[in-house]
Amino acid sequence: MKVIRAKSAGFCFGVERAIGIATTCAAGGRCRVYTDGPLIHNRQMMERLAQNGILEIGDYKSEKRIDGELDLSGSSDSVLVFRAHGVSPDRRKYLQSLGMRCKDATCPDVGKIAGIIKMHANKNYTTVIVGDPEHPEVIGLLGYAGNRGYVVKNKENIDALPDIKGDICMVSQSTMFTDDYREISEYFKSRFPNTKVIDTICGATKERQKDVNILAQKGAEAIIVIGGKHSANTVKLAIMARRTGLPCFHIETLNELDLESIGKFKTVGVTAGASTPDFLIDEVCNKLEKL
C-alpha cells in the first residue's frame, strides 16, 4: 500500500514547547511536576510523560480545585505547569496561590489571543469568541473578557444573543476552520455591524487543514486522521477529511485501525493532530506500508 504522509502531521510548536517545559522541569524524574488538567490533548503522550514524573491532576476544563491532589511536603522540588491551552486570569491566581513553583506552558498563539481580548476589554469592547464553549482554551480565554464576553459556535447561537451595545471584538478559538470562521463572522456582522473581526486561527491549524486537501489531490483514496478524540484540531481535521468526499478513519492508535476496511485501498493519506506524537504516526504508517 502506498502511504502519503502529510508534511504537517504531528506536534505543532506550541505542543513541543509545552512538553519541553514540563520535561525540563522534571529533570529526568528528580523533580515532581504537576499539570493542571492534561498538558496536551493526547492520552498516549500523557501516559508517556507520567513515566517521567509529569503527573496530570485536576480535570479536563481546569475548573476543579486541586489542593488535595498536591503533595506540598517538598514543594521546593515540585513544579505546577500551566497547560498548553492556557487558563483564565482567575485560575492563574488560584494556581499561583497554592505555594508551589509555577511554569507557564501556554501556547504563544493562545497567549496572543488572550492579549487581544484583554486589550480590547480595557477599551470597553465586548468580546465574542467563536469556538467550543466546553473547550479549555475557550474557557480560559473567556476569563480575559471580564463580564462582557460571549461564546458562539453557530448561527443559532448568534440569533440567541441579546442586543449588544457598543464596540465588539470578535476572535476565534485557535483551531477553528478558516471558512467556517469567515462565514460565522459575516453573519455576526450582519446583525452587529460595529464588530471588529480579528483572525486568530493559528498558522499550524491553517497548514494542517490545507494539507488535508493536498492528500486528496495527490491521489489518496482514503484519509486516516490520528489523534485524541478530545483534541479539537484533530476532530476538525477528521471533519475536513470527510468534506473531501473520501472515506475517513479517525483513530487514536494503531489498535483502532480497521485493517480489513482500509486494505481495499491502494493509496491512503495520513495526517495527525497537533498533539499527536511521531511514534503513533510511525506505527500506523509502517503497518499500512506492509499491507
The pLDDT tens digits of the residues spanning 254-265 come to 999 999 999 999
Helix or strand or coil: residue 113? helix
The whole-number average pLDDT for the span 123-152 is: 97
The whole-number average pLDDT for the span 105-125 is: 98
> Which grid coordinates are listed for 208?
494542517
Query: Please, what are the domains in the chain?
Result: 2-10+203-289 (3.40.1010.20), 13-106 (3.40.50.11270), 109-197 (3.40.1010.20)
Instruction: Report the alpha-carbon distance of residue 30 to residue 45 in Å, rounded.
Output: 20
Q: What percentage of residues in the chain have a pLDDT greater than 90?
A: 91
pLDDT value at residue 105: 98
Instruction: Report the alpha-carbon distance of residue 64 to residue 214 in Å, rounded.
Output: 42
The pLDDT tens digits of the residues spanning 214-235 come to 999 999 999 999 999 889 899 9
Torsion angle in degrees (nearest 10) through CA of 48, 51, 52, 56: 80
Q: What is the C-alpha R_g of the chain?
A: 20
Tell me: pLDDT of 71 over 90: no
> Which grid coordinates are listed for 71?
503533595
Tell me: pLDDT of 154 over 90: yes
Instruction: Report the alpha-carbon distance of residue 230 to residue 135 in Å, rounded.
Output: 9
The whole-number average pLDDT for the span 286-290 is: 95
Tell me: pLDDT of 287 over 80: yes
The whole-number average pLDDT for the span 86-105 is: 95
Tell me: pLDDT of 3 over 70: yes
Q: Is 67 left (phi over 0), alpha (psi -120 to 50) or beta?
A: alpha
Confidence of residue 99 (pLDDT cuts 50, 70, 90): confident
Confidence of residue 74 (pLDDT cuts 50, 70, 90): low
Q: Best-predicted range by mean pLDDT among 1-5, 28-32, 228-232?
A: 1-5
Q: How deeply is 104 buried, as exposed, middle or buried, from its count of CB atoms within 10 A (0-12, 13-18, 19+)?
A: middle
Question: Which residues are marked as active site?
Answer: 137
The whole-number average pLDDT for the span 172-200 is: 97
The whole-number average pLDDT for the span 135-146 is: 97
The whole-number average pLDDT for the span 263-278 is: 96
The whole-number average pLDDT for the span 148-154 is: 97
Tell me: pLDDT of 33 over 80: yes
pLDDT value at residue 29: 74
> Which grid coordinates are listed for 172?
476565534
**Which has more confidence, 77 or 106?**
106
pLDDT value at residue 58: 95
Residues 231/43, Cβ–Cβ less than 8 Å: no
Residues 234/280, Cβ–Cβ less than 8 Å: no
- What is the C-alpha end-to-end distance of the chain, expressed in Å? 6
The chain-wide mean pLDDT, for the chain, equals 95
* Stretch (H or E) spanning 261: helix 259-262
Tell me: pLDDT of 31 over 90: no
Instruction: Return the exposure string of 159-186: e unless at least 16 CB atoms fall within 10 Å of the residue's CB, then b.
Output: eeeeeeeeebbbbbbbbbbeebbeebbe
Q: Residue 217: how many CB atoms within 10 A of its CB? A: 10
